[in-house]
Structure formats: structure tokens, C-alpha cells
Amino acid sequence: MVKNMAEIEMSEAQLEVVADRFRLLSDPMRLKILQCLREGEATVSQLVEATQSSQPNVSKHLSILKGAGLVKRRQEGNSAYFSVGAPFVFDLCAIVCDGVRKELDEKQASFS
Amino acid sequence: MVKNMAEIEMSEAQLEVVADRFRLLSDPMRLKILQCLREGEATVSQLVEATQSSQPNVSKHLSILKGAGLVKRRQEGNSAYFSVGAPFVFDLCAIVCDGVRKELDEKQASFS
DNA sequence: TAACTATATAACCATATAGATATATAGTCA
DNA sequence: TGACTATATATCTATATGGTTATATAGTTA
């Protein structure tokens, strides 16, 4: 089990880094890309199709994710294959997504 | 155990909400405030002192955290006491902080 | 080589956000 | 009541960021 933050003080610099990590996940498009990649690697074109976004936009986000080590890149022919490089991301999302899903489901249920 | 995001597709709207949650934690000042509150409730003044920031800035961030339900507010006299309202935050931070701490420690170790 | 495909990057714009300053609100105490 | 303390809010500025358009790069194939 991971240690709880409550147990250890973090320095100014450490907090900056932590904030940066969370910021990576604070964009719907990047979450969507990561969600697409959960089933395995995909090319930029496939992600463009899946996300219904523009190619430059997808490339840009992939570049950001790659810079942070959250995704890996592999070239084959003239295609670039991306895959998840840090599975811990899904642990994070699991905690948040689970909570969000419950809340939204309840909200939806109250309408029916 | 929470379910893994990989198991369930999330809608556009759900991804927005998840992104918003992560954005809440993507600011060093807010993380610092939460870190201060891990030991128990604190007044705005105490948080201003602890964070070395301005009173309006602290109040603003507290308002943001409160709006998202991450902190609770209690009034006593003319002081406002804030406390953590969603302990799951620390589960999230634990995963990220643990990783960050390890990396920075290793980096520091390589200089000695 | 030229034409084509896939991806990356650069330049730009609109919006969002953190922080500062000034001010307002509200509770306390004389 | 008025002075004081604690907190909240309004306004502004600088910066960061997501998305678009246009262009560059690099691999492929005829």
C-alpha cells in the first residue's frame, strides 16, 4: 500500500511537481485519449477518429502526455503508435471516476 | 476495491467532471492548503500564516475547494474554520506524491 | 524523382486562471 | 454607537492553455 500524504511533509518544489501531474489529467481530451489507449496502442489517426478532434490537436496532447511519460511512442512505417506508459494513471482515474459516476448516476436516477 | 476505469466507458460529460476534479488539485497553493488541513481544521488566518500567501488569495482558494466539496467550513465568532471534507483526496495525492517523492529523492541522491 | 500519407510543429486567438490591490461584509468588544 | 478583527468579494493584470489554421517533416510508393 502507498503511504498517505498525511504522513509526510512535501516541499514547495515537490508540490509543484505534484500539481503538474494533476494538471496533466485535468483536460477532457487527454482523458479521452488515455481512455482510448486503455485497450492497447493506437496510431494518431485512430485517435483522431476516436476523439473526433483535429490531428494537430491530438498530436499536441500526445506530445504533452509523452513529455510527462504517461504515454510511449513507437514508430512503424510512417505511423506513430502510442500506448500507455504509466498505468498508475488508471489508479488515479479509478478513484475519481468511480465517485463521479456514482454521483451522476444518482442525479440521473432522480429524474426518472 | 474501486473499479478500474478500464472496465467502464465514460461519457463526454463524465470526462468533463473528472477533468474538473483533477484541475482542483493542479494548483500548488491548493495542495499546500490541503496539506495544512491534514492535521485538522484551521482558520483562514492560520492558513495565511502557514502558506505565506495573501489573505484574499487563501480565501479564494478555500472558496474553490469548498465549492467542490473538498473542504468544509464552520464559523465560530468571527473566525472561519476549514477542514477536509473529502478524505479521498489524500488517496489520490498518495499515489502521485509517492511517485514524485521517489523520483526527486533519486535525483537528489545522484548529486551526492 | 514526384505524389501521397501520416505526423509534428509554428503562429495565432480566445479563454481561463492565479495573484495582487482595494473594498465590502460581518462579528466582537469597548 | 464606533473601533477593531476576520473573512469574503470585486476588479484588474499577467500568464498559461486549448484549439484552429497553415506549414513543415518524414516515410511510402509509383
Q: What is the pLDDT of residues A14-33, one digit of tens each?
A: 999 999 999 999 999 999 99
Q: What is the pTM of this model?
A: 0.87
Which bases on strand D have an atom closer than 7 Å to a protein beta carbon? 5-10, 17-23, 26-29
Of the residues A30, A100, A103, A107, the best mutation for testing chain B's interface (the one with the most B CB atoms within 10 Å of its CB) is A100
Query: Does pLDDT of B89 surpass 70?
Result: yes
pLDDT (tens digit per residue) in B29-67? 999 999 999 999 999 999 999 999 999 999 999 999 999
Beta-carbon contacts of A50 under 8 Å, excluding residues fewer than 6 positions away, are A32, A36, A42
Once rounded to an integer, what is the mean pLDDT over residues A61-70?
A: 97
Q: Is A107 on the interface with B (CB under 8 A)?
A: no
Mean pLDDT of chain A: 88
Confidence (pLDDT) at A112: 56
CB contact under 8 A, A100 and B21: yes
Query: Does pLDDT of B3 surpass 60?
Result: no
Beta-carbon contacts of A93 under 8 Å, excluding residues fewer than 6 positions away, are A25, A31, A34, B5, B18
Confidence (pLDDT) at A111: 63
Mean pLDDT of chain B: 88
- Look at residue B89 and give its three-state secondary structure: helix
CB contact under 8 A, B3 and A98: yes
Q: Does A72 contact strand C, using a CB cutoff of 7 Å?
A: no
Confidence (pLDDT) at B1: 39
- pLDDT confidence of B112, banded at 50, 70, 90? low
Once rounded to an integer, what is the mean pLDDT over residues A79-84?
A: 98
What Cα–Cα distance (Å) separates residue B41 from each residue in A8, B10, B29, B68, B71? 18, 35, 17, 17, 10
Q: Show which of residues 69-98 on chain B sit within 8 Å of chain A, judged by CB atoms.
A: 88, 90-98
Query: Does pLDDT of B6 surpass 80?
Result: no
Query: Does pLDDT of A67 surpass 70?
Result: yes
Assigned C-alpha cell, A98: 468511480
